[in-house]
Chains A and B, each alone.
Chain A
Amino acid sequence: MTTTVEPLPRETSVPGQTGSAAFDVLRVPLLGRFLRWRWSRVTLQVPVLLLSLVMIGHAFWGPQLAPKNLAALLTWVHFRGLVVLAILVGGNLFCMACPFMLPRELARRWINPRWEWPRGLRNKWLSIGLFVFVLFAYELFDLWGDPWWTGVLIVVYFAAAVVVDSLFRRASFCKYVCPVGQFNFLSSTMAPLELAVRDHGICVGCHTKDCIRGRRPLATGSEGTPDSARLPVLQRGCELALFQPRKVGNLDCTFCFDCVYACPHDNVGILTRLPGDELSQGGTRSGIGRISRRFDFTALATVFTFGALLNAFAMISPVYAVEQWVAEITGLRVEWPILAGLFSLALILEPTILLGAAAAVTRGLAGAPASVLQIINHFARSLVPLGFGIWLAHYGFHFFTGFLTVVPVAQNAALRSFGSPILGDPQWHFGGLPEAIVFPIELGFLMLGLVGSWIVSWSLAGELAPERTGSAFTPWAVLHALLFGVAVWIMTQPMDMRGTMLGG
């Protein structure tokens, strides 16, 4: 693979507080020692893999009523909630413990991938398409209420990871295919932790670049020797092409710790930083390039945010009325064209109009010497904090109102599987927090998202029009406030039995 890395402008600041002043989780006595251990990731992956196998078994052979099925309950209530909450308080911990990677690692013991990922697909478009497809299938087939198809989805995911990474080198599945991964990458820009270099001075003197090339038996001082590249890799470097000294933020980082294990100087840590600050950073990023010049990242951020609204909107009562109304005026009797229309409206037409209008007004008010598309590309990142806030509010609602439901469902599964209550009689009254508590939490997540989007867009406005920052900021602040208002309206709609999944 050839990866060109342009030097960043010297004035580019470090996101958050990365550097020697930041707190380093890897320095925490027991936790740090465990995480630095080479098998720490596998240790985290194995229980998640076993749980996935239990879920698959229950999906196909357990009760097909979703609230009583572990696959549906754990996937749509617990997994989604825990993923976003873990990102909020830590980082991309799901990718770190990703169970899909274990079969892939096993397969790679026998299969040596031969091909590089096709050049034309080295972007986010395929994963954006899959992300939208999953959202669409979720609504069309009511996946939350269908354990069997939920099981199929999990199996397909495992198979796809194995097939893609058996054919193509490096972490092609994670970087270019996995829709959950893209969701986690964008979300983790809001995380308080980042895998980053502790002391850049050490990297200046490093000649081996093991953090990206991988460590080989004679790696130290072996650079330039023709045979060094043929030696077996003892510890691989970053498979997502993120060169640590020039890596900025969490985008495309799976927290796999390969760079931590590979660095011969023990110079990579898990450092604290200001959430969302990396979204304000300009310049070229290792393995990514310039975000402001990548329209696929603009599309990803847009789908991430507007998809959050759409996904939440699809779970409240008014969506049935809208679908019914469309069916009546069009005469359609099948759901998918109506749903496709709603998706096109929400993910293409609406963002095009809103982002285009905000960019056009910015151009007029601030006199920015850039095209509307360039301004959209510049500001699209500012949607991410609000989008993450909406996902947090939505998934947090499901999780907080239903996190204890796993207890009776697991008890019931054991009872049915073994014929005796080895986990006790199902305690069906177990639920979660009352909505009187959960609703303010939802609102709090939305408010934090709005504040984050305003912080990022203020910074981006200053970069675009230093003399007229306020004028460049205003249209985007209004757009964020509008989306925030829509999200609050959605969260206040009748939720029926969403928390227990009986109503989606």
Chain B
Amino acid sequence: MQQRRSRFLSVRRPLVVVAALLCADLPSLAAHEGPPFPILMDEPVAGHVVSVWADPDIGEAQFFVIVESPGGGPPPAAPRVAMWFEPVSGRLERATEQATRQPLQNQMQFEVSPYFDQRDMWQIGFRLTGSDGAVGELTSEIESTPPGYGPLDLVIYLFPFVLLGGMWVFAVARRRRMMRTQPGRNVRPHAEVQPMPRES
């Protein structure tokens, strides 16, 4: 039993090492919490229809502004898009970031990355300046979200896979050992099956 257990552990060891190596590189792996979600949909602004998707992570927030013409599809000329943000409490002054257009086909989309310093409620606004000079603004409120648990997330959610991998290796090794000791077992009697008729 002890021998079997140590063999099982030795099989799992490489997997644990891989997981540990990956954990060591967590600062670069810790991605933002949650996928972007829409906060404004199909709002008419400055002769355009605008939707805004938010990924308001602390320290690495991203906002995506999708601009369509009123009839649908990307507008013929790109507007200028800027975002302002300030804590609802007023503890910081209002800051403004220019949005940059993303290289996507078939749709006009802008990205802007404001800096949220801590978990808080933020007043945000998106100012569009059309090519014809028309200006419009959309405002909303949003809560900045903290990152995940970091290394703990990885350990918790990776554990079932490590377990599965270990069981898989164990099962294969066990079956091969069984086949070596009992060569006749699990053999498909192909040779006895009459050949399929050539006309089928």
Residues of A that sit less than 8 Å from B by CB: 1-5, 7-8, 10-14, 17-19, 63-67, 141-142, 145-146, 200-201, 203-204, 206-207, 209, 212-213, 223, 229, 237, 243, 245-246, 274-275, 277, 286, 320, 401-402, 426, 428-432, 434-437, 439-441, 443-445, 447-448, 451-452, 455, 459, 488, 492, 495-497, 499-500, 502-504
Contacts and interface: CB of A to CB of B under 8 A. Distances in A.
B200 A213 contact: yes
26 contacts: A7-B195, A10-B189, A12-B188, A64-B72, A142-B106, A200-B193, A206-B194, A243-B196, A246-B193, A426-B41, A429-B38, A431-B35, A436-B34, A436-B147, A437-B157, A439-B154, A440-B154, A440-B158, A444-B157, A447-B165, A455-B168, A488-B22, A497-B36, A502-B53, A503-B102, A503-B109
Contact of B148 (A402, A436, A441): A436
Q: Is chain B's binding surface mostly helix, strand, loop or mixed?
A: mixed
A334 B198 CA distance: 53
B42 to A, nearest CB: 9
B105 A451 contact: no
Given A64-B72, A142-B104, A455-B169, A3 B35 contact: no
B158 A499 contact: no
Contacts of A441: 157, 161
Interface of B: 15, 18-19, 22, 28-38, 41, 51, 53, 55, 62, 64, 66, 68, 72-73, 102-107, 109, 111, 147-149, 153-154, 156-158, 160-162, 164-165, 168-169, 171-172, 175-176, 179, 183, 186-200
Q: Is chain A's binding surface mostly helix, strand, loop or mixed?
A: loop
B31 A436 contact: yes
A139 B171 CA distance: 40
Nearest to A434: B34
B104 A503 contact: yes
Given A431-B35, A435-B35, A436-B33, A66 B107 contact: yes
B68 A209 contact: no
B106 A200 contact: no
A13 B179 contact: yes
A66 B175 CA distance: 48
A462 B106 CA distance: 52
B53 A497 contact: yes
Contacts of A13: 179, 186-188
Nearest to A204: B192
Contacts, number: 207
A447 B15 contact: yes
A428 B36 CA distance: 11
Contact of A447 (B102, B161, B190): B161
A139 to B, nearest CB: 11
Contacts of B15: 447, 451
A420 B174 CA distance: 61
A207 B35 contact: no
A500 B191 CA distance: 54
Contacts of B62: 496
A440 B161 CA distance: 9
A448 B147 CA distance: 27
Contact of B31 (A5, A65, A430, A495): A495
Q: Interface centre among A13, A17, A432, by most B CB within 10 Å? A: A13
Nearest to A320: B103
